[in-house]
């Protein structure tokens, strides 16, 4: 195989959560990801000094870490965590019960018995916090305060500190003194994040890069009309005037702040959301940046499809992806590298379900195949394979926080004779770009467009609110009636509001339990512009941008009983009253660029049976999922039950029900795969009675590995219907 230069590029980012005017910080994610992912990812790299890599640290993240560690900053979650269990007000108790289970339950709650017991006691999605609070005593509260922070400590911290490991092993009934000791340890670990990255950079193992300061999408600040290149019919905001000077200032400030924190200017920059266009090249180069990165689909569009993937996912002209390129505009130039989004998505979304050895073996087989495909086609230089993804979000979906996978992966890479881990800047020093792109296509790392951030009614309303606030601020700046320091504070609030994350949660592309809070924070930063200048904010900024009920739920509930003949045929009226989950690859603060195998899940029941239906993406179930070996239905409630369907795409697949790993004889099980897949499970076999909760998810298995999960995170929840179910639903 041809030599491979493997560039791991981890993007570490959080939006700017604090309200600088009143000191509030309503979101804990900088602190929690800090002690888990930002510290842990660097610590894992330090274990293998030969593993050279690139880490992107967004200034808005660094500024918040420093506020915690240098200025004694706090957030609402930490404040409630530190309160004595008998000193919580009613509001604090509601906050605790509504926010202290906001983790991936499969990997971060269920493995820990005490946390899982508290989770079940809370009854998320069933009881309000007000009703649930009666079930929690003082010991429960302290344990919940601890566990909600403890699961956000990186596994390496417990390996390195026996005292911390002993604390976790205790598992329950901690004292107030022990809780405070632990929260102090958490802050100590957060304080190591920046020094550890600085050390690894100075030792030559890491290249540290930056992003425009508050993570704005530079092309949309430059010219919102660019969204039409990939989406010709997109509805744009009313105000389309350029905010190019803001884009320039966000880039300039990022480089200056990075130098302040790390003592040297960054050479590389990850544009926010991988978003690029031809017009921003000069401002980035003028800030002192030498290279940037983007997604492979940007390269494909910039070369009119010369570099692209066929219907099976195979690259055309792969050697052109695995090399640097040169872009030029107005006499300035940058070098560019493009992420292999298929390989990046393997780590971000798929290997979490693989056995560790199999995941690592699969990774190497794919990288070695790239070496074979590019052999002799890249000239004297080794192929540059760029693995670029968020460095914090995917690990909560991996067993043991991804430690087992990354350890094995890093060590094998370091030992491989043909695969050489590189810092991107070092590679470009040795093998500078010789190929030039005529024109850089405007788009992001998600489907080479800007559809997540502009075009939806909510997104456009947010852009217009931002523009109108900026126009107000520009007028005050021109008048020079306010002190320069006051104007600078107002501009800071505006720059914060330009961050991409606020727009990410508007519209219907992504949703979370904190949509309304993100909406509120965005508007608060705009309101602060007026407050800083001693002016009253427009009443419009007091109105939520998110329309109530407009965001899609994970699934809809059944509206009536079903009568299904399990034959795998498409009989519309059988499923008209079913609950429905639309399967997508998007989740939380990440988005998957590859499609799931299943397009839709339908679920419902008769008085005696639970029914499930799966529709394949892109064709019939029997054709699209012919190579799937098994379908697993995992029940979280009733606990311990699991159902396995062997070769579900067959006409009469074998179905087995297990309880705690032991096969259960249940003659009423039925399954059929044809145009679609249908399954019937008697409630009796699951030991369920009227009004009992049902909570489940499904996995598709090839070989010994789960290749898809439905829903992608969380679970489907419903209840066994009562005899008057249809009457109740009709009245509702």
- On the question of pLDDT at 334 being above 90, the answer is yes
pTM equals: 0.85
Q: Which residues contact 237 (CB under 8 A, 6 or more apart)?
A: 224, 454, 459, 460, 461, 463, 464, 467
Q: How do residues 666-711 score in pLDDT, each as one tens digit?
A: 889 999 999 999 999 999 999 999 888 898 999 999 987 778 889 8
- On the question of pLDDT at 368 being above 90, the answer is yes
Range from 40-44, 154-158, 226-230, 702-706 carrying the lowest mean pLDDT? 702-706
- On the question of pLDDT at 715 being above 90, the answer is no
The reported pLDDT for the residue numbered 730 is 45
The reported pLDDT for the residue numbered 587 is 46
| Greater pLDDT, 273 or 314 | 273
387/341 Cα distance (integer angstroms): 7
**CB contact burial 487-502 (16+ within 10 A = b; e otherwise):** bebbbbbbbbbbbbbb
Q: Cβ distance 133 to 93 under 8 Å?
A: yes
What pLDDT band is residue 731 in, cutting at 50, 70 and 90? Answer: very low
DSSP, res 498: T
Q: Cβ distance 650 to 623 under 8 Å?
A: no
Helix (H, G, I), strand (E, B) or coil at 5: strand
**Burial class for 12, CB neighbours closer than 10 Å (0-12, 13-18, 19+):** buried
144/151 Cα distance (integer angstroms): 11
Range from 125-134, 298-307, 718-727 carrying the lowest mean pLDDT? 718-727
Token pair in block for residue 110: 């269920």
| Greater pLDDT, 105 or 478 | 478
Q: What percent of the chain has pLDDT over 90?
A: 82
Q: At CA 139, angle to CA 137 and CA 142, rounded to 5?
A: 110
Mean pLDDT of 227-239: 96
Mean pLDDT of the chain: 93
Helix (H, G, I), strand (E, B) or coil at 8: strand
83/439 Cα distance (integer angstroms): 57
Closest CA to 227 of 190, 293, 275: 275
Q: Which residues contact 643 (CB under 8 A, 6 or more apart)?
A: 632, 633, 635, 655, 656, 657, 658, 669, 679, 681
Q: Which residues contact 297 (CB under 8 A, 6 or more apart)?
A: 341, 443, 445, 447, 448, 593
The reported pLDDT for the residue numbered 586 is 46
What pLDDT band is residue 293 in, cutting at 50, 70 and 90? Answer: very high
Mean pLDDT of 391-407: 95
**Burial class for 691, CB neighbours closer than 10 Å (0-12, 13-18, 19+):** exposed
547/523 Cα distance (integer angstroms): 14
Q: How do residues 179-224 score in pLDDT, each as one tens digit?
A: 999 999 999 999 999 999 999 999 999 999 999 999 999 999 999 9
The reported pLDDT for the residue numbered 676 is 95
**Burial class for 241, CB neighbours closer than 10 Å (0-12, 13-18, 19+):** exposed
Token pair in block for residue 69: 């560690």
Helix (H, G, I), strand (E, B) or coil at 628: coil
Strand (E) or helix (H) holding 10: strand 4-12
Token pair in block for residue 434: 């010789």
- On the question of pLDDT at 171 being above 50, the answer is yes
The reported pLDDT for the residue numbered 590 is 47
Q: How do residues 544-567 score in pLDDT, each as one tens digit?
A: 998 755 444 578 889 889 999 999
Mean pLDDT of 50-58: 98
Q: Which residues contact 198 (CB under 8 A, 6 or more apart)?
A: 261, 262, 263
- Which residue is associated with the tokens 């030559």? 204
**CB contact burial 200-216 (16+ within 10 A = b; e otherwise):** bbeeebbbbbbbbbbbb
| Strand pairing category for 308-309 and 315-316 | antiparallel
What pLDDT band is residue 732 in, cutting at 50, 70 and 90? Answer: very low
Mean pLDDT of 335-361: 94
The reported pLDDT for the residue numbered 585 is 57
Token pair in block for residue 399: 């067993």
Closest CA to 677 of 633, 714, 642, 717: 633
270/512 Cα distance (integer angstroms): 25
Q: What percent of the chain has pLDDT over 70?
A: 96
Range from 283-297, 443-457, 588-602 carrying the lowest mean pLDDT? 588-602
- On the question of pLDDT at 292 being above 60, the answer is yes
Mean pLDDT of 306-331: 93
- On the question of pLDDT at 540 being above 60, the answer is yes
């Amino acid at each position: 195989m041809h030599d491979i230069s493997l560039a791991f590029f981890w993007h570490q980012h959080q939006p700017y959560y604090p309200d600088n005017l009143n000191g509030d910080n309503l979101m804990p994610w900088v602190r929690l990801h800090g002690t888990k992912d930002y510290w842990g990812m660097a610590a894992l790299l330090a274990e293998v000094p030969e593993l050279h890599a690139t880490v992107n640290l967004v200034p808005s993240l660094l500024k918040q870490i420093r506020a915690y560690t240098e200025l004694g900053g706090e957030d609402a979650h930490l404040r409630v965590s530190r309160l004595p269990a008998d000193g919580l007000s009613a509001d604090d108790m509601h906050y605790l019960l509504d926010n202290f289970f906001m983790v991936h339950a499969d990997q971060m709650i269920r493995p820990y018995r005490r946390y899982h017991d508290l989770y079940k006691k809370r009854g998320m999605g069933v009881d309000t916090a007000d009703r649930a609070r009666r079930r929690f005593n003082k010991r429960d509260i302290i344990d919940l305060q601890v566990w909600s922070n403890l699961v956000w400590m990186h596994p390496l911290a417990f390996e390195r500190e026996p005292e911390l490991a002993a604390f976790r092993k205790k598992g329950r009934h901690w004292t107030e003194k022990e809780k405070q000791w632990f929260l102090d340890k958490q802050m100590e670990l957060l304080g190591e994040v920046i020094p550890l990255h600085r050390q690894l950079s100075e030792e030559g193992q890491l290249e540290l890069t930056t992003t425009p300061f508050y993570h704005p999408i530079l092309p949309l600040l430059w010219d919102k009309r660019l969204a039409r290149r990939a989406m010709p019919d997109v509805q744009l905001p009313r105000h389309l005037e350029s905010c190019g000077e803001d884009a320039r200032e966000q880039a300039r400030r990022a480089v200056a702040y990075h130098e302040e924190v790390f003592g040297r200017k960054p050479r590389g920059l990850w544009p926010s959301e991988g978003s690029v266009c031809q017009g921003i090249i000069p401002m980035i180069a003028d800030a002192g940046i030498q290279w940037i990165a983007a997604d492979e689909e940007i390269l494909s569009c910039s070369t009119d499809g010369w570099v692209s993937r066929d219907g099976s996912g195979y690259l055309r002209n792969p050697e052109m992806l695995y090399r640097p390129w040169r872009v030029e505009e107005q006499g300035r130039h940058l070098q560019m590298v493009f992420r292999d989004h298929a390989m990046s998505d393997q780590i971000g979304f798929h290997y979490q379900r693989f056995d560790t050895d199999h995941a690592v073996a699969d990774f190497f087989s794919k990288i070695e195949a790239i070496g074979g495909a590019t052999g002799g086609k890249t000239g004297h230089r080794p192929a540059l394979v760029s693995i670029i993804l968020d460095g914090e979000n995917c690990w909560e979906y991996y067993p043991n926080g991804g430690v087992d996978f990354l350890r094995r992966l890093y060590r094998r890479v370091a030992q491989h004779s043909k695969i050489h881990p590189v810092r991107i800047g070092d590679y470009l020093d040795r093998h500078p770009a010789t190929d030039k792109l005529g024109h850089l296509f405007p788009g992001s790392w998600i489907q080479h467009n800007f559809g997540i951030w502009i075009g939806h009614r909510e997104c456009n309303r947010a852009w217009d609110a931002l523009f109108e606030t900026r126009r107000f601020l520009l007028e005050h700046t021109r008048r020079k009636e306010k002190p320069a320091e006051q104007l600078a504070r107002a501009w800071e609030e505006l720059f914060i509001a330009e961050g991409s994350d606020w727009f990410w949660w508007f519209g219907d592309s992504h949703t979370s339990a904190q949509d309304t809070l993100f909406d509120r924070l965005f508007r608060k930063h705009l309101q602060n512009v007026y407050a800083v200048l001693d002016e009253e904010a427009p009443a419009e900024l007091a109105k939520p941008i998110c329309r109530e009920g407009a965001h899609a739920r994970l699934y809809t509930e059944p509206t009536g009983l079903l009568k299904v003949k399990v034959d795998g045929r498409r009989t519309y009226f059988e499923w008209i009253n079913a609950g429905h989950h639309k399967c997508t690859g998007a989740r939380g603060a990440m988005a998957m660029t590859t499609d799931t195998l299943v397009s839709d899940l339908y679920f419902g029941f008769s008085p005696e049976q639970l029914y499930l239906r799966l529709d394949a993406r892109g064709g019939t179930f029997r054709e699209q999922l012919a190579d799937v070996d098994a379908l697993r239905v995992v029940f979280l409630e009733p606990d311990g039950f699991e159902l396995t369907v062997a070769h579900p795409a067959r006409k009469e697949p074998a179905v087995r029900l297990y309880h705690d790993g032991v096969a259960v004889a249940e003659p009423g099980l039925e399954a059929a795969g044809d145009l679609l897949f249908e399954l019937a499970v008697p409630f009796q076999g699951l030991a369920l009675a009227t009004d009992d909760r049902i909570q489940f998810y499904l996995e598709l298995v090839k070989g010994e590995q789960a290749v898809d999960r439905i829903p992608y995170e969380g679970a489907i929840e419903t209840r066994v219907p009562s005899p008057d179910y249809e009457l109740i639903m009709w009245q509702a």
